Amino acid sequence: MAEFDVDLFVIGGGSGGVRAARIAANYGAKVMVAEEYRMGGTCVIRGCVPKKLFVIGSHVHQEIEDAAGFGWSIGQVSFDWATLVANKDKEIARLEGAYTSNVEKSGARIVKTRAVLEDAHTVRLATGEKVTAKYILIATGGAPNHGPAVPGIEHVISSNEAFHLKELPKRIVIQGGGYIALEFAGIFAGFGSDVTVVYRGDNILRGFDEDVRKHVRTEMEKRGITIITGCTVAKVDKHGKDYTTRLSNGSSIASDQVMFAIGRHPNVRGLGLEAAGVAINPANGGIQVDGWSKTSVDNIYAVGDVTHRTNLTPVAIREGHTFADTVFGKRPVQVDHATIPTAVFSQPEVGTVGLTEEEARAQYSHVDIYKADFRPIKATMSGRDTRVLMKLVVDGASDRVLGCHIVGDAAAEITQVVAIAVKMKATKADFDATVALHPTASEELVTMRTPTSRHVRQAAE
């Protein structure tokens, strides 16, 4: 009789857990995956995928407006929110089926129920069944924060509910200044909503390059989105179907929807972590792990947003894969969390990889900045008042490109490719030696020859 029921028990059927389960099963491990809601996790069910579909849909109105400059005369058009939501639901169901099928094809077994740790090797299912496992992987992801319980918090929606609204809000207040808040601001504005963004900080996109933050805010405001910074929501009053949002500066905003997008927290509650001896990282509230994704318990690992390290789907997938390679493939490998590209599907779009100017100047004695701010070719005919930002951050001593920051159409697509060069430690000379692809916006990355600024940090005396 086997010592354990399974070799690996995965709690959570999202991107990280599914990848780990599939790879471990391919190595011959007996694997069980518990998912209490829907296979696919945050990204597929209520995150990046439906969000990107909404972003694409919200662009259409702008495309119709821009068409006139290119000779197109488009008559009366209409938009139906319910059709968008229904078609999105259909695509998400298809992807959920694909995730389920791929796990089962690998030989792993899925149980659609909640799972809680009883001890380091035992998991109790909501059905009452107990399963013993040699290894346990926690991949339960994260959930939206609602922040401090302001009066009227019960009237506020999160990004989860935003994907299932019965109708498009005519006016919406969104609290937050990061990825999710700005992406939904662009989505709702694109579909015709009157959007107000409220953020407690001095400017949106905290942690991003300062030029990116300024550029995105300017462009969003050009598109009619109101951005109020240095302020928070103090209270939400409901009047029939409408709301009055009262701000900390004393002003009020009327709307028919209020959304909070003020960050996410790791899904650690009620998992039985204490019973198994799994420690929480006091710095971020996620499960504490080492470079191998191992928790404080030798046979229990955690990957993805539940660790609150780098909360990006491709990172969770990479962590899940390397865990399986290390533990079941006997091929020890760690994830390199440095130089990870990221995108904000705001409007305009942001793509970034590597260091910001501020980070580079803190870490390197000589920093050269190359920057281009220009009107894209499409705008010359459409007449739209919009500009693109391209920025390279370079180590002035070694000539290595430390960071790249892009704001504009297809910023994410461009950044994915540039990330290869940055990861390979390409130099500015390598960029300069690359022939430009004309006419494109991205050719600016290889034609910027003169630094817009140079910074030398004085040595302390």
- Return d(Cα 280, Cα 269) in angstroms, integer: 11
By C-alpha distance, which of 98, 100, 123 is closest to 10? 123
CA distance 298 to 342: 32
| Rounded Cα distance, 457 and 158, in Å | 44
Vertex 170, ends 165 and 171: CA angle to 5°?
A: 100
Reduced to 3 states (helix: H, G, I; strand: E, B; else coil), residue 210 is helix
Number of residues in the chain: 461
Q: Which residues contact 116 (CB under 8 A, 6 or more apart)?
A: 123, 124, 270, 271, 272
Residues 200/148, Cβ–Cβ less than 8 Å = no
Catalytic choice (308, 321, 405, 438): 438
H helices of 328-410, in order, are 357-363, 377-382
Which amino acid belongs to residue 276? A
Residue 365, SS3 per DSSP:
coil
**399 Rama sector, left if φ>0, alpha if ψ -120 to 50, beta otherwise:** left
What residues are paired with 31 via a beta bridge?
A: 8
Residue type, 446: V
Nearest Cα to 9, choosing from 157, 112, 108?
A: 108
438 noted as active-site residue: yes
Residue 48, strand partner residues: none
Report which secondary-structure segment, H or E, holds 212: helix 210-222
Helix residue ranges per DSSP H, 10-47 = 15-26, 41-46
**One-letter identity of residue 140:** T
The enclosing H or E element of 424 equals none
Label each residue of 182-198 as H, E or C: HHHHHHHHHCCCEEEEE
Active site members: 438
